[in-house]
Amino acid sequence: MSWLRRRFRPGYDDPGAWGTPIEPGEETDEAIRRASADQARRSLQDPFGPLAVTFGAIEQVTLHGSVAPSRDAIINLTRAVLSADYYRARLRPPICGPGGLTDADNRARWERLQPWLAGRLAAVLTANLPGSLVERAVLARLPTTWLPDAPIRRALAGSVAAAGWAAPVRVTLSLRAPGGRDAGSRMEATLAAVGQTLAEGGLALLEPVHDPTRPPLAEPLLVVRALGTGADGAVTLICHEADAPETEIRLAVMRSGGDIRLSRQPRAGDRPSLCGLHCWCLQPADPPRFGAARVFRYVFPWWLLWWLRHRL
C-alpha cells in the first residue's frame, strides 16, 4: 500500500501488523477466564435455575472458560480495540511501518503501545467475556422451542438420579422455553448498547455467533460504524472486520412477535448461519499518542485532521 493511501485512510482502519501478539500474560489470562466463568455460571443460575445444569449450559461455560483464546483471536481483538479506541479519540491508529520491529521507529512506538494495550485487553476481557460465555451457553444448550417427550424424560431421569432419590417420586413438569422467551430481550439489549456507543461518537464491537458450541472469540469481532431501521422494522448494522475495513458487512435483525431472525451479507464463507449477536462494551480510554500528536496534544486541533480524512 502506498504512503499516500495509508496516510488518508479513515480513522477506524486496520492499525497494521506488528508481528507480535499482545497478551495480558499467562497468569492474568487464566485468572480472567476463571473469574469470567464463575460470573457466567452465576448469571445462568439466576434466571434459569436447575435448567442451566440439566441441559448442560453450566458444563459448557466451565469448558469454554478453561480454553485460552487462540493467537488469531488475540490479534483480531487487538485490532478491533485499537480501531475503536483511536476512533473515539479522533486519531489514526498507529501503523507498523516497513521493516516491522527491526525498524527503530517501530520499536519505539511498540515499547509505548505494548504495556498500555496489555492492560487494556485485560480490562476488555474482564468486562465482556462473562457475557459472551452466557450468550453462547444459552444459544447452544437452553431450549428455544418445546422439547420432544423423550429428551425431557431423559433429562428428568438424570436429575432425579443425581439428587440421590431411591424411592419413586412424583414430578410436576411445567414446560417453558427460557432461551426463546429471553431471546428478544437479549437482542434488544445488544442493539441498545450498539446504538448508545454510536450515539456517543464511538465504534461498537459486535461478536457474531455462528456456532455457539465454540468458545468466545472463535469468530472475528465486527466493528460497527452505522445502525439504521428500515420501513419494515428490520434493524440493519453496517460493519466490517477489523483486519478488512474495506469490506462492508451488513447484518439484518428482523423481529416478528417473539422470534428473532438474523442474516448476514455477504455470508461468512462456510460458517453456519448467524444465530446470535453479543456486544462488547468498551469503557472510554485515552490511547497513547505518537509523533506530533503527542508533542502538541493540547495545542493543535487534531480532531480537525481526523474530520478532513473522513471527508476526502
Alpha helix (H) residue ranges in the chain: 3-7, 26-48, 50-54, 57-65, 71-88, 104-141, 149-163, 178-199, 292-295, 302-311
Please state which of the ranges 24-38, 170-184, 263-277 shows the lowest mean pLDDT.
170-184
Cell numbers for 305, please give them: 485532521
Q: How far is it between the farthest Cα atoms of the chain?
A: 80
pLDDT in the model for residue 244: 83
Name the domain count of the chain: 1
Cell of residue 7, nine digits = 496516510
Strand partners, 263: 252
Which pLDDT value is given to residue 224?
93
Contact 140, 212 (CB under 8 A): yes
pLDDT of residue 218: 87
CA–CA separation, 52 and 69 (whole Å)? 24
CB-based contacts of 139, cutoff 8 Å, min separation 6: 179, 209, 212, 275, 276
**Residue 183 · residue 260 · CB < 8 Å:** yes
Alpha-carbon distance values, 139 to 47, 214, 259 (Å): 15, 11, 14
**H or E element that contains 66:** none
Range of the domain at 281: 3-311
pLDDT grade, residue 15 (50/70/90)?
Answer: very low
pTM: 0.74
Q: Is the dihedral of CA 186, 188, 191, 195 positive or negative?
A: negative
Tens of pLDDT, residue by residue over 226-239, are: 998 877 778 999 99
